[in-house]
Amino acid sequence: MTPHAIVTGSTSGIGAATARALTAAGLRVLVTGRDESRGDALAAELGTTFLPSDLTGSPDELRVFAAAATAALDGRVDVLVHNAAVCPAVDTVTLTDTDLDAALAVNVRAPHVLTAALAPAMAERGSGAIVVVGSWMAHVGHPFVGLYSATKAAEIQLARSWAAEFGPRGVRVNTVSPGATRTPINDADDAVVTAMTARTPAGRPGRPEEVAAAIAWVCSDAAGYLHGAEIAVDGGITTTSLG
């Protein structure tokens, strides 16, 4: 049976690359996100379906989305990739209440509600994979993305807890944490991203496809013994220093 996957925020960047990688690996992927034109285009490319989503919605709205996504995949979700994220790149004092609420909603509440809605069916079948897309920034202090870093740290910890909760019933939960990666969301900051990665062992920013390849492996049977892990696909930015 063809495995079915949901990748949140899959209309661009790492999410789109992940949808392509999972499709290439033989999965049927539901494309989701807020941008309908990009979503429809990617779904047409992959021969699948696009389902609009707004992860800032209430818990009940998220549960409605989970049910609709399950229905769109003929009643079965085998893989759930929590990729969507909001990253207000401002300091603590400048952060608006609106951005605060959005980051907490998309980065923490939505993954929690969607996991609670979708993981039990995986556990009942005795198989499934959930992947959190974390961030290297969850492991360092940064003056401009403190809230984002904190939400990613929370999400990584949730993944560990979900691994303990659902792993004994066959659902593997792990994290893939990108480093500074070139995506459409940071196109305007290309010089900053380039400088940030110049002194890493890789010496360059990451590419969405490199992160997606790791996610696809984590979801595969080849990673069957991987539970509660965090894989850093970050060019060495969190573990090395070149002076």
Residue that wins the pLDDT comparison between 39 and 192: 39
Beta carbons within 8 Å of 57's beta carbon, 6+ residues apart: 65, 105
Mean pLDDT of the region 119-125: 98
Above pLDDT 90, what percent of the chain? 90
For residue 140, pLDDT over 80 is answered with yes
**Alpha-carbon gap, residue 40 to 30, rounded angstroms:** 11
Write down the pLDDT at residue 187. 66
Residue 225 annotated as catalytic:
no
User: What's the mean pLDDT when you consider all of the chain?
Assistant: 96
Write down the pLDDT at residue 137. 95
Write down the pLDDT at residue 104. 98
Write down the pLDDT at residue 41. 98
Write down the pLDDT at residue 184. 72
Write down the pLDDT at residue 191. 83
The answer to whether 149 and 142 have CB atoms below 8 angstroms apart is: yes
The answer to whether 14 and 181 have CB atoms below 8 angstroms apart is: yes
Write down the pLDDT at residue 186. 67
Write down the pLDDT at residue 154. 98
Residue that wins the pLDDT comparison between 19 and 187: 19
Mean pLDDT of the region 15-33: 98
| Model pTM score | 0.97
Choose among 209, 189, 195: nearest CA to 237. Answer: 195
For the chain, the residue count is: 243
Distances (CA, A) of 113 to 95, 102, 143, 221: 25, 15, 29, 26
Write down the pLDDT at residue 188. 66
Tens-digit pLDDT profile for residues 154-184: 999 999 999 999 999 999 999 999 999 988 7
Question: Active site residue: 65, 148, 162, 166, which one?
Answer: 148
Write down the pLDDT at residue 168. 98
Write down the pLDDT at residue 45. 98
Residue that wins the pLDDT comparison between 183 and 14: 14
Most confident of 86-90, 110-114, 142-146: 110-114
Tens-digit pLDDT profile for residues 193-237: 888 899 999 999 999 999 999 999 999 999 999 999 999 999 999
| Single-letter amino acid, residue 165 | E
For residue 189, pLDDT over 90 is answered with no
Above pLDDT 70, what percent of the chain? 98
